[in-house]
A and B are shown apart, each in its own frame.
Chain A
Amino acid sequence: MTKQIFRIAPGFEEIMPEEYRELVTDGPYDRSVGVADLGTFKELLEEHPLCAGCGLALSLRLFLASLPAPADTVVVGSTGCSAIAFPQVGLHNIHGLFGNQNAIASGLKRALKLRFPDRPKDVVVVAGDGATADIGLEMVMHSWFRAENIATVMLDNEAYANTGGQESGMSPRGAVLNMAPTGKKFEKVAMPEIARESGCAYVAVTSPANARRFEKAIRRAILVARDVGPTYVQVFCPCPTNFKFRPDETLGVIRKREKEGVFQYREYITPEAQQYLAASEGEKR
């Protein structure tokens, strides 16, 4: 998609709902905007139905503002909290079955390469921890083994949050949830390490508590996936509803975990991706 086709047919401007008109005139398509510009342009996320204080909703908002080329981006999602928000997003998005998101993204990326050989199309998987680390782990890993040019973003709220609170592979050891009353018996799945060993050219662990760092990780992941190989970003976005803290404490919870050393921002970049990023980020400067 380019902005040339994202325009209202003549005569229909007045009858279109306001949010569509604003997306056309003031949206982020074909513009260079980022998280620092939030509040100055029409965002791709129009309200959302997620819980108050949802770390995932904030992450989704930052993610959408971080896309290097929203007009040429397709997001593939999966069952989970983010799937409830995606109908409010003004971006091509596909809802896969629970866990097959990376398989869909692989086929889509290959098809887009054939259909638009001269125009890069970014395919980004955005899924929760259940879809990525548990139910879809096989398809996630195999997309990495095959070195598919897709970016995978896991929104890690450490639980199956919208089904009442079951533990996921990403819940921390000892976590007690509504439907996991005896506490989780093993550690978080080591997804960043699995990603690195499975062939990802760029891996980052980040959170919405630092918006600039978050944006940098998302942009790097998408750019490296475009030209080098598969990438993975793990976003720690705690859930106030299931982990029982106040909605205004979400960022505080992240910072506390960071201070305790339980959550740490980190990046892994292959030499090839490093070279690529040095060139592309140098160009930008």
Chain B
Amino acid sequence: MDSYRVKAGPEGYLPPAAACVGICLPERGHALLEGELVPEERALEEIARRLLAAGNPVFFPGPLILWDWKEGVAEKARALQVLAREVRAKIIPMPDYRPKYPMINPAVEINPNHPNLTIWHNHIDVCVFIGVHCHYANVALKIIRGGTDCYTIAICGEVGHEDAMISLRDAGLRTLERLTAMVREMKRKAGDVG
């Protein structure tokens, strides 16, 4: 149990919830990196690196950031769009969690009940969950780990997600801005100014 690590799958049908195999959520100022507790800064660097190295990075914004439902959301939404442009990521929304019949169009949205369809059809190698309510993020992350080889990142405003390969906690507007600055710095160092 101690050696379990949250790596990209496919791990097979019904992978265990990471919390059930010994992975604990991080304390403030810390994050999870493939199941290990690390300082937040370290996780941010790894997110920036993964996003820049990805062939097809995609952001999955959930209802908490897609809908302008309270003060501060619009600013966070704009910061996310800046970050997505900076890493040349597509954005595929998760507007709500309804188990739609017969199924969603995976080219235009992602649904927590069958997120693997969106990953498979769009050939996504790195994805970022943000603004998705905890229980639905947990379900979707586990399904993705079970059925795909996609690398999952959760930018979580609450306490984080064990089932993501990288998970931040307490992530707000400032976190997104720091991450964008980090991406820009990495690109500058690599000589990529495009």
- By a beta-carbon cutoff of 8 Å, the part of chain A in contact with chain B is 5-12, 15-17, 20, 49, 84, 87-88
Is B78's CB under 8 angstroms from A10's CB? yes
C-alpha gap A40/B158 in the complex (Å): 42
C-alpha gap A242/B81 in the complex (Å): 51
Cβ-defined partner of B101 (8 Å) among A12, A15, A87:
A87
Cβ-defined partner of B109 (8 Å) among A9, A10, A17:
A17
C-alpha gap A49/B103 in the complex (Å): 11
For residue B93, CB closer than 8 A to chain A, the reply is yes
Report which residue of A7, A10, A49 has the largest number of chain B beta carbons within 10 angstroms of its beta carbon.
A10
- By a beta-carbon cutoff of 8 Å, the part of chain B in contact with chain A is 61, 65-70, 73-74, 77-78, 81, 91-93, 95, 98-102, 105, 108-109
20 further interface pairs, Cβ-Cβ under 8 Å (given A5-B69, A7-B68, A15-B91)? A8-B66, A8-B67, A9-B65, A9-B66, A9-B77, A10-B68, A10-B74, A10-B77, A11-B77, A11-B81, A12-B91, A12-B93, A16-B93, A17-B93, A17-B105, A17-B109, A20-B95, A84-B101, A87-B100, A88-B100
Chain B residue numbers with a CB within 8 Å of A17 are: 93, 95, 105, 108-109
Chain A residue numbers with a CB within 8 Å of B100 are: 87-88
Known contacts A11-B77, A84-B101; decide if A6 and B67 are in contact (CB<8 Å): yes
Chain A residue numbers with a CB within 8 Å of B101 are: 49, 84, 87-88
Is B73's CB under 8 angstroms from A9's CB? yes
Q: What's the nearest-Cβ distance from chain B to residue A137, in Å?
A: 29
Q: What's the nearest-Cβ distance from chain A to residue B72, in Å?
A: 11
Known contacts A16-B66, A87-B98, A88-B100; decide if A11 and B93 are in contact (CB<8 Å): no
